[in-house]
Every structure is written in C-alpha cells, then in structure tokens.
Amino acid sequence: MTPDFPPAFDQLREFAFHAAERAWTSLGHFFVAQSILALAWATIVDFELPGKTLVLLAISLVGVLMGYQWTLLGTRMWHYHLEYVTAMKALWTNFTPELQGAGAGG
C-alpha cells in the first residue's frame, strides 16, 4: 500500500514539471527566433544596399545576444526544476505516515 503523501508533494511535482516545460518551450521559441534572424540575414545578403555589412553585423549580434539570454533563462529554469526534484526526494525519504499522519502538510 502506498502512503498518502502530503499535498506539498503534489505541488512540488507540478512545479518541477512546469519548470521543465518552460525550459523546453523557451528552447522552441529560441529556435524560431534564430530561424527568423537567419532568414532575414539570408534575404539581405542578396541585395546591394548601402551599409549592408553593418546591418548584417547587427542581425548577427542580436542572434548572439538572444543565444546568451536563452542560456541564462534555460539554466535558471533547469535549476528550479532540479531544486523541486531535490525537495520531492527529501519529502519522499523523510515522510512517514506514522510520524506525520496521512495528509500531513509537508
């Protein structure tokens, strides 16, 4: 028979899944944004415009900055996910219905 875990366990599980989903969703958004920048870059390369080099350099710099931003945000989301998983493991190993009682708060 599995013990009745406190509501905190379900909340931590939900928070962990939410943090992981946000990290994967942000990766998808990053790929879409980078694809748009690559398309813009490829389109501008074909035209002869004054200052074309500067525009291409600016688009490339925006892509680099977006990559850096995604790295920071993705790392933060995975850090939150790992914190929630660690808290769930601690709750799983420390929870005993004999001490806390069924449905006890975490």
Q: What does the pLDDT read at residue 1?
A: 45
Residue 81, both tokens: 């996910």
Q: What does the pLDDT read at residue 89?
A: 81
**What is the share, in percent, of the chain residues with pLDDT greater than 70?**
81
Helix segments in the chain, DSSP class H: 7-45, 52-94, 97-100
pLDDT band at 46 (very low <50, low <70, confident <90, very high): confident
Task: Tell me if the pTM is above 0.75.
Answer: no
Q: What would the pLDDT profile of 47-89 be if each residue is shown by its tens digit?
A: 888 888 999 999 999 999 999 988 888 888 888 888 888 887 8
Residue 10 has pLDDT above 90, yes or no: no
